[in-house]
Chains A and B, each alone.
Chain A
């Protein structure tokens, strides 16, 4: 499993795309790579925004931005549902009585615009919820299971890029895969909770601060997290940073 895991495969696709353009990995590049890799016609990322319900951070494909903005206009739709804290929304055929009944305004308008299938995955990590990763298609039908699993991996990468962006952390050039395996370790999330209390900040910011310090110290995230949990390092004292 150390080689060619699904995460490796997805990261290879994203970084190859970045290399071919001689630019660092960004959210836009990640979405482009997802659009090229998966059998969809559009990819978008919308996030919570202070002033409005959501903000489209990135949209690839002719219809994907329109699709996100349409939901803001009519006040309903899958992205808004996910942004409101809901689970993923997977729709294989928008042009059906069931979906038209679910979103009377949105479904009709989306079909009219040419969108038939739609898969909205939350950008979430426990209590951290920053936005939604949306795949759309001009043809009806489910994403094959393997593609959907890859979509979740793209969404995980997107979450980290968005969080780093919101926290003003420059992780460019940092390879998220370096920490990929250890990223799932429980102490990372325990440390996140501890840091949020130490700094009096939200859980999302605490996670970004943890990542930023690990990046600055050039240490694996899990190692720093273990130090926090064992109370060898804190975030509210300059003496330990």
Chain B
């Protein structure tokens, strides 16, 4: 059975001036974020959100390679399980892996015809409603540290200028990851990547705690964290650490959630299989 597309296709922008203005605004916004001690996780999510808007793609994800050579998701436009599965699958095969190994952009205009190239990935992506895929390298000089993965529900190839903008955003993502101090030292790069990856783990652990305490799903738990961090001008990783050590309670986070979102998104849902446990 064909799954519903994870995100409905957006209308691509047609007007050049508007597009340029949006790009300029985004670059300024992202550059403004890169101050001392900025919030790495929030930055990456914002970057993925901006990819969605500027490139009019249906889904986007930022993947980093770790010391073990695993590609790990740092930020994703949706926490949809099928989308996360598509990212995960690319540890075995797929455009991100090809891009990560070669350092070159990888695209395919029609995934329904790509089963020869990616026998696992292509059918899975097609089943999730995607037709087009792009993987743009995150490069630091000769080293590839990860990839920006873009999906579209249309079979249209991305226009060259859009690929260029995508690459520019991938480059900004790279710059954001590598903090100024010691760019010249290769060993510091390894170190900073590990730290960035670990901050993601910390947030997942905090999401689990919130999800269990308030019977919400992890996606909503993340939205709670993000909203609270923004409202209280806190770094997401720091906030996550305080959720885990108990100094910020789930009740405080819920109390600060806006009424509009708490109405639909954060309502406790019943335990689906309580019966099975009798």
Q: Are A and B physically bound partners?
A: yes
A87 and B208 contacting across the interface, CB-CB below 8 Å: no
B69 within 8 A of A: yes
A187-B72 Cα distance, complex, nearest whole Å:
12
B66 within 8 A of A: yes
A152 and B244 contacting across the interface, CB-CB below 8 Å: no
Size of the chain B interface, CB-CB below 8 angstroms: 50
Q: Tell me which of B198, B203, B205, B218 has the highest count of chain A C-beta atoms within 10 A of its own C-beta.
A: B205
8 A Cβ contacts from B74-115 to A: 84, 88, 91-92, 97, 100-101
B70 and A194 contacting across the interface, CB-CB below 8 Å: no
A153-B211 Cα distance, complex, nearest whole Å:
30
Q: Which of B71, B188, B211 contacts A1 (CB 8 A)?
A: B71
Binds A, one of B14-22, B151-159, B269-277: B269-277
* Interface membership of chain B positions 198-218, coded 1 if the CB is closer than 8 angstroms to chain A and 0 otherwise: 101111111111111100001
Residues of A within 8 Å of B244, CB to CB, are 126-127, 193, 203
B264 within 8 A of A: no
A153 and B68 contacting across the interface, CB-CB below 8 Å: yes
8 A Cβ contacts from B156-201 to A: 185-191, 194-195, 198, 200-201
Residues of B within 8 Å of A102, CB to CB, are none
Size band of the A side of the interface? 35 or more
A190-B79 Cα distance, complex, nearest whole Å:
13
8 A Cβ contacts from B197-252 to A: 198, 200-213, 218, 240-241, 244-245
Q: Which of B97, B208, B273 contacts A193 (CB 8 A)?
A: B208
B198 and A2 contacting across the interface, CB-CB below 8 Å: no
B68 and A7 contacting across the interface, CB-CB below 8 Å: yes
Shortest Cβ gap from A89 to chain B (Å)? 10
A185-B86 Cα distance, complex, nearest whole Å:
12
Look across to chain B and name the residue whose beta carbon is closest to the beta carbon of A92.
B187
A232-B208 Cα distance, complex, nearest whole Å:
15
B202 and A126 contacting across the interface, CB-CB below 8 Å: yes
A229-B185 Cα distance, complex, nearest whole Å:
40
Residues of A within 8 Å of B188, CB to CB, are 90
B278 and A239 contacting across the interface, CB-CB below 8 Å: yes
A124 within 8 A of B: yes
Q: Tell me which of A182, A184, A203 has the highest count of chain B C-beta atoms within 10 A of its own C-beta.
A: A184
A6-B67, A87-B195, A231-B272 given as contacts; is B190 within 8 A of A194 (CB)? no
Q: Tell me which of A7, A127, A203, A240 has the highest count of chain B C-beta atoms within 10 A of its own C-beta.
A: A127
A1-B97, A198-B212, A229-B218 given as contacts; is B70 within 8 A of A152 (CB)? no
8 A Cβ contacts from A179-198 to B: 180-182, 184-198
A1-B71, A145-B187 given as contacts; is B208 within 8 A of A194 (CB)? yes
A153 and B212 contacting across the interface, CB-CB below 8 Å: no
B208 and A5 contacting across the interface, CB-CB below 8 Å: no
B73 within 8 A of A: yes
Residues of B within 8 Å of A229, CB to CB, are 208, 211, 218
B66 and A184 contacting across the interface, CB-CB below 8 Å: yes
A88 and B84 contacting across the interface, CB-CB below 8 Å: no
Q: Which of A1, A156, A189, A191 contacts B101 (CB 8 A)?
A: A1
> What 5 A-B pairs have minimum CB-CB distances, sorted nearest first?
A193-B208, A189-B204, A126-B201, A5-B69, A7-B68
By a beta-carbon cutoff of 8 Å, the part of chain A in contact with chain B is 1-2, 5-7, 87-88, 90, 124-128, 142-143, 145, 148-150, 152-153, 156, 180-182, 184-198, 203, 229-232, 234, 237, 239-240
Q: Can you spell out 25 A-B residue pairs with CB atoms less than 8 angstroms apart?
A: A1-B70, A1-B92, A1-B100, A6-B69, A7-B69, A88-B194, A125-B198, A126-B198, A126-B201, A126-B203, A126-B205, A142-B185, A143-B187, A156-B67, A181-B91, A181-B92, A184-B68, A185-B88, A189-B204, A190-B218, A193-B206, A197-B209, A203-B205, A229-B208, A234-B277
